Amino acid sequence: MRLEELELRRISLPLVTPFRTSFGTQVERDALVVAARTDAGVGWGECTALTWPGYSSEWIDGAQEVIRRFLVPLLGGDDLTADRFHRRVAGVVGHPMAKAALELALLDAELRAGGTSLRDRLGGSRDRVEVGVSVGITDTLAELVDLVAGYVDDGYTRVKLKIEPGWDLEPVRAVRERWPELRLQVDANTAYGPGDLDHLAGLDAFDLLLIEQPFPEDDLLTHRALARHIATPVCLDESITSLAVTATAIELGACSVVNIKPGRIGGYLPSAAIHDLCRAAGVAVWCGGMLETGIGRAANLALASLPGFTLPGDISGTARYYHHDVTAPFVVEGGTLPVPTGPGIGVDVDAEALAAATTSVEVLRP
């Protein structure tokens, strides 16, 4: 396959529910959508980097610059495949979200040409996958309970609550008391430190599925200490950056659950390899979300159809995030979403919706 040109398209989609960050409140999703135009056809990808380097060191402007200056020049020739892509760009250190966007676009083009779905290429088998919803920090407990109530009414059977020091035990207690049978988990996004082990042990009272990433990503030893200190399963998110790091975390006993985010790992092929490693080790995995449009959401559903994904993912229906998407909407039914089974990512981009959301377009050639 030969890459003829790569289109980098920035789009802006208003969010249904704005969310607060340390860099301000985000009211829209500034996304980078990638179209790989090859001699075999067109494939679509999406970069999950945010507009600021808060979740990871990557941010969307930086990702676009890395793609432009360092990645695309490596993609010339007639023998390009998604597998070879990773070998070609190995000399560019880091930048997994930029790499994942290109990998997905190449995978989509390659698989569409061959009439194969991404689900089948990765080794998935399910037609529907169980999904959950993530709920951010609110101003009051009453507001939190009202938000969760709306998602329960929408059919979600698993809810994830964001927590931080000063907003943890009481919010979880309020939701658990209202819904005793709801599958509930919490996400700390690295907000705690080694002195918080006893406090976090208080979460054991609420029968949680897991606590996600309480400590900084490079602190596997404190995660191991917490895993030995509490009954609630410890899940790693930001720490899971490669197959080697995942193997180390498992060997240390730093987690019993892993959140796989393809953008954070560098693509869907590396994500499938981490799935295989975790499954062999008896470690549960689930698919995280990064405010993806329908392009990334379709690909995440394909990944989450693999057999080791035994916990509901943060994939969610389209209506959780967007009034209008650039693909047909995904609708939750019975707490599940359908896995696209058509060629490639299995969904088509709505050209009119994409054009309406576009803020800039850049065309590159290798």
Q: Catalytic residues, which ones?
A: 162, 261
Residue indicated by tokens 């979740």: 55
Residue 228 CB partners (closer than 8 Å, separation 6+): 253
Strands (E), the chain: 3-21, 24-38, 41-47, 128-130, 133-135, 158-162, 183-187, 211-212, 234-236, 257-260, 284-287, 336-338, 358-364
Helices then strands (H, E): number in the chain?
A: 13, 13
The 3-state DSSP class for residue 129 equals strand
Measured CA to CA, the distance from residue 216 to residue 238 in angstroms comes to: 8
Residue 92 is encoded by which pair of tokens? 């560019």
- What long-range pairs does 201-207 form, CB within 8 A, spacing at least 24? 201/229, 201/230, 202/169, 203/168, 203/169, 203/172, 203/230, 203/232, 204/230, 204/231, 204/232, 205/173, 206/172, 206/173, 206/176, 207/176
The pair phi, psi for residue 37, each rounded to 5°, is -95, 115
Q: How far is CA 299 from CA 49, 276, 336, in A?
A: 16, 18, 15
Closest-CA residue to 37 (of 89, 105, 88):
105
DSSP calls for 55-72: SSS--HHHHHHHIIIIIG
Residue 161 CB partners (closer than 8 Å, separation 6+): 135, 144, 171, 172, 175, 184, 185, 186, 187
Residue 22 CB partners (closer than 8 Å, separation 6+): 54
Do residues 248 and 240 lie in contact, with contact meaning Cβ atoms separated by under 8 Å? no
